[in-house]
Chains A and B, each alone.
Chain A
Amino acid sequence: MNGKIKKKGTILVENIVFIILNLLFLVVLVLFLIKQGSGAVVLEQTYSKQIAMLVDSAKPGMIIKMDMEKGKELAEGNGIKFNEAVRISDNTVRVKLSAKGGYTYSFFNDVNVAASALQDEKGEYTGMYMFTISGK
């Protein structure tokens, strides 16, 4: 009788270990997928190209606001000030969300673009960026 109980117990532990390992495996896989999709490299490229396309289709006098909430979280997590995440010089946009990273893309619209991170009443960054387009 005792032997029977012991045998069943052994099988249960094996099954639990097996299930835990499988779950661990899946969790690692899902975390990898999430990390890849929201990584600095991907976001830097996405924002950089989005901003370049916005500027290309803009006309002098326009003010464009862009939601960069995910970028803000990532930049601050990597020790980058949000107001320094986007740099526009000449006709190139550079987005930097990590210390070693950064992605640059050019636009063909020959205009001046001023980029600034918006702040709320408390002086905290809202996660929005404002681009002011003016003629040269």
Chain B
Amino acid sequence: MKLKTMNKKGADKILTIYWFVILTLIAGGIFAMVYVFYSTPYDVRGIEGEIFAERIADCISRQGIIDQSFFLGKDFDKSMTGEKFTKKCNLNFNVEEGYGDISQIQYFYRVEFYTLKDLTKANYSIYDGNINWESDCAIKKDSKDYTRLAQCTEERLYALNQGGEQYLIRILSVVGKSAKNVKS
């Protein structure tokens, strides 16, 4: 009888230790998951890219009419370069420290104007920023390292020139900044 009681107590103790081992494992898992979750930076590049594209769109067209500064008479003004447009739209591509080379620009945009007669070839195009980011846009979303790449946003709008001719405007905005938005 005495032996039986001792065995029961022993079994209880083993169960308690086993229970705490299980709890420790579960807690360890939760700690690890929470740590990984909160140490992963918030990725705001998608939103930033959308705002970037919208700002460019606002700068190109007001109330559906393309800004006259793009034209020289009836044709596009070829002297309107990307750099000029960037300055005109009050865009600043300087970034904070933490991206390695401080001179490495983390933004890129390309604006293309298409006439409705030919939507395959851009009539006029301007771009500015770090052109190296543009190639990242061709990589598919389901690829392995997609999140580490620059985030691309494409916006399309229709607008008229002063003569009433309709254009399709395609805006591609790209935001790098992976160091501050993706876990290394």
Interface residue ranges, A against B (CB under 8 Å) = 14, 18, 21-22, 25, 29, 32-33, 36-37, 39, 41-42, 45-46, 49, 52-53, 56-57, 90-92, 104-111, 135-136
Contacts and interface: CB of A to CB of B under 8 A. Distances in A.
A56 B34 CA distance: 31
Given A18-B16, A22-B23, A91 B42 contact: no
Contacts of A135: 90
B38 A110 contact: no
Nearest to B175: A108
Contacts of B96: 92, 104-106
Contacts of A109: 55, 90-92
A110 to B, nearest CB: 4
Interface residues of B, number: 32
A14 B15 CA distance: 12
Given A29-B27, A56-B51, A105-B180, A45 B95 contact: no
A91 B48 CA distance: 14
Contacts of B106: 106
21 contacts: A14-B12, A25-B23, A25-B27, A32-B31, A32-B34, A42-B38, A52-B48, A53-B47, A53-B48, A90-B94, A91-B94, A92-B96, A106-B94, A106-B96, A106-B106, A108-B48, A108-B52, A108-B55, A108-B91, A109-B90, A110-B90
A136 B38 contact: no
Interface string B48-82: 10011011000000000000000000000000000
Chain B contact surface mostly: helix
B90 A53 contact: no
A109 B95 CA distance: 12
A104 to B, nearest CB: 4
Contacts of A110: 90-92
A56 B73 CA distance: 33
A122 B31 CA distance: 43
A33 B27 CA distance: 11
Nearest to B23: A25
A135 B90 CA distance: 9
Nearest to A92: B96
A124 B41 CA distance: 32
Nearest to B16: A18
Given A36-B34, A92-B96, 13 more contacts: A22-B23, A32-B34, A33-B30, A39-B38, A45-B41, A46-B42, A57-B51, A57-B55, A91-B92, A91-B94, A106-B106, A110-B92, A135-B90
